[in-house]
Amino acid sequence: MAHEVPPLPYDYAALEPYIDAQTMTLHHDKHHATYVTNLNNALQKYPQLQNKSPEELIRGIKSVPDDIRTAVRNNGGGHVNHSMFWKIMKPKGGGAPTGKIADEIKSAFGSLEDFQKLFNDTGTKQFGSGWVWLVRNSGGKLQVLSTPNQDNPMMDGHYPIMGNDVWEHAYYLKYQNKRADYLAAWWNVVNWDEINKRLQAGK
């Protein structure tokens, strides 16, 4: 069973004005689709890897055969990262979180504002392409970190609770070089219900 791009759970224009319809169309239909195509191509030689979930492949990246490890890292990572990304956004999202995630953010970072500032700063400072994450780290604590390229925190034993894509393809049409403006605006489309589910699932 080949890997497939999951459908967007809302319309391409649903996250306007914060993320424009053209960016969403290209990002989902072209960029994500290319990661999935390249992942499937990389796995062709290795039927025993074809039944693993994308997350299993990523968690076990160190045991993927040498000749396809980089392809699986980049494209399997891209598939896992984007599959999460579409779901942790929604139209009319944002606001203050409720539930467990609200409590955990407050206890780890002091306040929502302090957490968002750290997350935005970390995303702004990621040199080149990559992602900024809130993870439950391998020691069990909430932590903000960034990764290059399509690397996923699971590759290092952390659980990704939420992440934002800071590749230029995620924001350049609308925000050009102003990544910090994109990071600030993104909080208006965050789906805290889904993030609460991921927090629970990661325990």
The footprint of Mn ion (CB under 5 A) covers 165, 167, 170
Q: How far is CA 54 from CA 5, 32, 36, 58, in A?
A: 11, 13, 10, 6
Q: Provide the minimum distance between the beta carbon of 160 and Mn ion in the complex, in angstroms, as a whole number.
A: 14
Q: Provide the minimum distance between the beta carbon of 45 and Mn ion in the complex, in angstroms, as a whole number.
A: 26
H or E segment at 37?
A: helix 33-43
Nearer to Mn ion, 31 or 197 (CB): 31
Nearer to Mn ion, 151 or 165 (CB): 165
Q: Provide the minimum distance between the beta carbon of 108 and Mn ion in the complex, in angstroms, as a whole number.
A: 26
CA 86 to mean position of chain CA atoms? 8
Nearer to Mn ion, 165 or 194 (CB): 165
Nearer to Mn ion, 86 or 115 (CB): 86
Contact partners, residue 70, CB within 8 Å, separation at least 6: none
Q: Shortest CA distance to 121 belongs to which of 109, 106, 136?
A: 109
Q: Provide the minimum distance between the beta carbon of 35 and Mn ion in the complex, in angstroms, as a whole number.
A: 9
